[in-house]
Amino acid sequence: MYPFGSGREGEVMRALGKAAMVGTMAGLLAAGLAVAAPGAGATVVVPGAGAAAASGPAGVQAPYADLADAGTGADLWNQDPTAEVPMGSIVKVMTAYVVIQAGNLDQLITVPSGITAYDKDYDASTAGLRPGEQLTARQLLYAMLLPSGCDAAYTLAAAYGPGLPAFIAKMNATAAQLGLTSTYFTDVSGLPIPTGTSTYSDARDLVALGRDAMALPLFASIVQLASYKLPSQSGLHPSFTWKTTNPLIGDYAGTTGIKTGNTQTAGSCLLFEATRGGQTLIGVVLDDPSFKVASSDAQQMMNWGWNNS
């Protein structure tokens, strides 16, 4: 059993955010300003003062992006936010969400032999786990979220499904419960299984999922870290040091998380959050050409957000 209380709360907050956006667009129309419908290819700005606000953040290269106030869910700026596209390892945010909600995080889990082919076949990022090692579910969450360990995601899903098909079904059920209507999962890590586009979401859903995940204290405490060292435990596992893949951690002041993603089809993707001056912004960029560009896009979006919200 895994409760969805925070999901229902997140859905209500997202409904309020959408209502606020509709009201803003109506006001712009009444003032005689043209507003593009927020469909494919549209860029929507919720303006503050001055010309910079009207144009949105400068130089964002990501074709799909969204920026919101994390506290209220109100949309601040977006770029083609409802296009359904792959998102790589950002999928692991949902994998972690399902596991944390299920509980029993201190149970010991044996790393299954299936991780070897799973990682090798797709040249997947790993946490360095080996079949037969035993770690707690809590420790595996660090292994999955910081170095983006597909081996850890596989291990958690195998235990909590039980089995990958059952776990993927739970992921999709959770997406429906959270109101993520443009999101569908076919793999627990975001790998191109069975195809590069079979797992997909849109920028708006991913921001909403990020808000729900960051509301979980354990999740938030993990994704804020630059690294985590797990000492060896005799008979169970060797020592590990896992470093975050998030380029904003330690580089952009106020960053609190959350997750990178990358495949050949998805490009470089970054779901991000930061807090300054008591305000928290959350956003996502999808299908950037590199993580350097994704990081730059995220910083440009948040810099604009601090000044215009």
Beta bridge pairs of residue 257 = 273
Question: Encoding tokens for residue 139?
Answer: 């420790």
Taken in order 139, 142, 145, 151, is the CA torsion positive or negative? negative
What span, in angstroms and rounded, lies between the C-alpha atoms of 215 and 63? 28
Question: Encoding tokens for residue 266?
Answer: 């998805």
Question: Encoding tokens for residue 168?
Answer: 């993927």
**Residue 81 in contact with residue 180, Cβ under 8 Å?**
no
What span, in angstroms and rounded, lies between the C-alpha atoms of 129 and 149? 9
Question: Encoding tokens for residue 308?
Answer: 């215009």
Q: Give 175-182 contacts, CB < 8 A, sequence gap 24+.
A: 175/94, 175/205, 175/209, 177/4, 177/7, 177/8, 178/4, 178/7, 178/10, 178/11, 178/208, 178/209, 178/212, 179/7, 179/10, 179/11, 179/14, 179/208, 180/205, 180/208, 180/209, 181/205, 182/82, 182/84
- Residue 217 amino acid letter: P
What span, in angstroms and rounded, lies between the C-alpha atoms of 168 and 194? 13
Positions marked catalytic: 89, 92, 148
